Each structure stands twice: as C-alpha cells, then as structure tokens.
Amino acid sequence: SYVLNQPPSLSVAPGQTATITCGGNDIGSKLVHWSQQRPGQAPILVVYDDFDRPSGIPERFSGANSGNAATLTISRVEAGDEADYYCQVWDLETAHVVFGGGTKLTVL
Amino acid sequence: EVQLVESGGGLVKPGGSLRLSCAASGFSFGNYSINWVRQSPGKGLEWVSSIDSGSRYIYYADSVKGRFIISRDNARNSVSLQLNRLRVEDTAIYYCVGCITGEGGYFDPWGQGTLVTVSS
C-alpha cells in the first residue's frame, strides 16, 4: 500500500517560515492536498491540487510537489497557525485515499 | 452556509452495530462524492470509505471492508455509514467530508464529527 511520510513535529518562531514535507514514492505524479486541524476542531482544507488555495486561505500558505516529496510552506508564521497538518493523495492502484501521519506545528 | 452535520455516534459494545448519518446543506450535494474519515483519540486521520455522486463507485479501507456499509440518498441530501461487528479499535471521531472532483479530489467541506466509542 502507498505510504506518505511526514515529520511528526516542527517548531518555528513567529514571523519565520515553516516548511512541512510529505514524502512518497513518485508523489510528484499525484495530486496532493493539505488540511489543517487546530486543537479540538475539525480539519479544513488549506492547499489543494499541489499548490492551489481555497478562498479565505491566506497567501502565506503555499504548496509544491515534485519527485518524491511534496511541501507545504507557511510564510510569516503566526500563533494561529499552530495546528496539525496532513497531506493527502489518492492511490489509484488500491483505490484508497491515503493520509500522511500528520505534522504538529508549534509556534514558539 | 455550506454544512455537513453528522449524527448517530455513541457508546456500543464490541461486536455491536451503529448507524451514522450525515446531513448536507448549502451546496449541490448531488454533485459531490462523500467520504468518511475517522480519527482515533490522539491519532491522525484515517480514510474509511467513499461513495460517488451516483452511488456507482464505493470504496472502503481494508480495516473496515466487510464490516461497514456506506450509502446515500440524494433526494434527502444525506449519507449513512452502517458500522457492524464493531471493534475497540474502531473507537474514533467520524467525520463526513465532501469532495467535488471525485477520485483523487480534495476534501472540502468537513463536518464537525461524531464520536463512536466501542467498549465493554
């Protein structure tokens, strides 16, 4: 089965840039979506189709995808960005949706 | 307002059954595939099942295949997930999630979730 690897945690100071990676075999050939889950809340979509942003999501959130890694970059990090972030793809071979294990972003 | 509202969660004994429902409003429900995603306490997201807009394509995670059944009623803007032969490890918050683009598409909107607890 297809596996997505994310670092369990990342700490960043306010105003700095956070880059969260999502590794998977030839993930660059798939569409990657990212969701944010703040403590005690349901997830929300923050980046879809590798790099597009839903309406209402700040331009500080950006995505990229190539080769064996996709990335979610959050520029000028704010306290409100503290959350768990999950990458997601569709595995055509198994017809399954696959989530990464999640990355807990801590704003120092 | 775009909304998905889950209901039907609760406490059930191992081996028991439960039926979750998801009511949609504020968007063209019939154009969306619907997924169920669960989250065990303190853990990450796990996809459970999906059903396309016309109920032709239905998929299940290996961990629930043969035990859970997904269905939808477009006339009532609702989706159900029948949970059978429940196990302790099925304990989780179950989220109902919409997907406009079908297979490979992004998940939006998400419901607020309903908690299922399997315990003796």
Across the interface, whether the CB atoms of A102 and B44 are under 8 A apart is answered yes
Query: What mean pLDDT comes out for the span A34-55?
Result: 97
Across the interface, whether the CB atoms of A88 and B107 are under 8 A apart is answered yes
Residue A99 has which token pair? 């989530």
How many Å lie between the alpha carbon of B13 and the closest alpha carbon of chain A?
Answer: 26
Residue pair A71/A21 in contact (Cβ under 8 Å)? The answer is yes
| β pairing state of B78-83 and B92-99 | unpaired
Q: What is the pLDDT of residue B104?
A: 82
Burial of residue B91 (number of CB atoms within 10 Å: 0-12, 13-18, 19+): middle
A99 Cβ under 8 Å from any chain B Cβ: yes
- pLDDT, tens only, B22-60: 999 999 999 999 999 999 999 999 999 999 999 999 999
B9 Cβ under 8 Å from any chain A Cβ: no
Q: Is B117 helix (H, G, I), strand (E, B) or coil?
A: strand
Q: What is the pLDDT of residue B101?
A: 81
Q: Which residue of chain B is at minimal alpha-carbon distance from A30?
A: B104
- pLDDT, tens only, A60-90: 999 999 999 999 999 999 999 999 999 999 9
Distances (CA, A) of A45 to A91, B13, B14, B20, B89: 19, 34, 34, 23, 27
Q: Is the pLDDT of residue A40 over 90?
A: yes
Q: Which residue of chain B is at minimal alpha-carbon distance from A41?
A: B112
Q: What angle do CA B108, A85, B114 make, to 5 degrees?
A: 55
Dist. CA A101–CA B37, nearest whole Å: 14
B112 Cβ under 8 Å from any chain A Cβ: yes
Chain B residues close to A102, C-beta within 8 Å: 44-45
Three-state SS for B69-90 is EEEEEHHHCEEEEEECCCCHHH
- DSSP character at residue B12: E
Q: Closest Cα to residue B40, out of B4, B75, B83, B89?
A: B89
Query: Which H helix or E strand runs over A40?
Result: none
- pLDDT, tens only, B85-107: 999 999 999 999 999 887 788 99
Choose among A96, A99, A101: nearest Cβ to B59.
Answer: A96
A 40-79 residues inside an 8 A Cβ radius of B: 42-45, 48-49, 54
Query: What mean pLDDT comes out for the span A34-57?
Result: 97
Q: Is the pLDDT of residue A30 over 90?
A: yes
Dist. CA A101–CA A23, nearest whole Å: 11
Dist. CA B91–CA A13, nearest whole Å: 35
Chain B residues close to A97, C-beta within 8 Å: 35, 37, 47, 50
Cis peptide leading into A7, omega within 30 of 0? no
